[in-house]
Every structure is written in C-alpha cells, then in structure tokens.
Amino acid sequence: MRKKVYICLPDSVEPGVLKKASRYTRYALLCGTAPVVPHLFAPFIDESLKKEDVIIEIGQSLLWFCDELWVFEDERYSDNAAEKVRFCESLRIPVVQIKNTKLERILGGTST
C-alpha cells in the first residue's frame, strides 16, 4: 500500500498555485506515494461556490488520515503551511520538508 502524503499548498486556486499542485503531485507519484491534493478538485467545484473555501474544507477532511504532510521549500514560510504543520504535529503526523534541489533532481527544470 502506498504512503498517503498531503501536499501543502496555499489555499488558493490561482493558476500559479494550480501549476505547483500539478508539479508537486507528479513528484509525489514518482516517489511512489499516493498524493492527497485538494487543489486538483478545483475544476470540478460548482462555480456558485467559493472554490478556496471548498478546498480548505476538503483539505481539513483529508489531512487527518494522511501518513505525512509534505511542505515544499517554496511554501514552507506561508501562514497556511504553519497552520497545517501545527495541526499535523498535534496529531503526530510527520512533516517532511522537500527542498527544491530534490524536486528538480526528480522532475528536472526549476520549481517555479
């Protein structure tokens, strides 16, 4: 069974965040994990709803059952990441910091 890893991203559906979500998801899949990425649901969320709120709600529902939280170097200092790290620490869910060099080694290119 694959390890379930929650991919930490800002609570936004801006194109740049969704691009990072795809890149980080690809990285996690290549590492042999089952990535949990609520941002990837954004295209399927009803337009009448605020997508960011739905993503936050989905994330809160899924984070507690993950094996690890992955925080990528570009995201580690955001308020969003700090909140998720505190939550995971309270549940004793390991937090793994992913450096850009490791990401680039697996995927190639740059992290932006």
49-55 LR contacts (CB < 8 Å, sep 24+): 51/13, 52/11, 52/12, 52/13, 55/11, 55/13
Question: Is it the case that residue 76 has pLDDT exceeding 90?
Answer: no
Domains and CATH numbers, the chain: 4-107 (3.40.50.450)
Question: Is it the case that residue 103 has pLDDT exceeding 80?
Answer: yes
Average pLDDT, the chain: 91
DSSP letters spanning 72-106: EGGGTTSHHHHHHHHHHHHTT--EEEE-HHHHHHH
Mean pLDDT, to the nearest integer, of 78-104?
A: 90
pLDDT tens column, 38-58:
999 999 999 999 999 999 999
**pLDDT tier for residue 110 given thresholds of 50, 70 and 90:** low
Give the pLDDT score at 39: 94
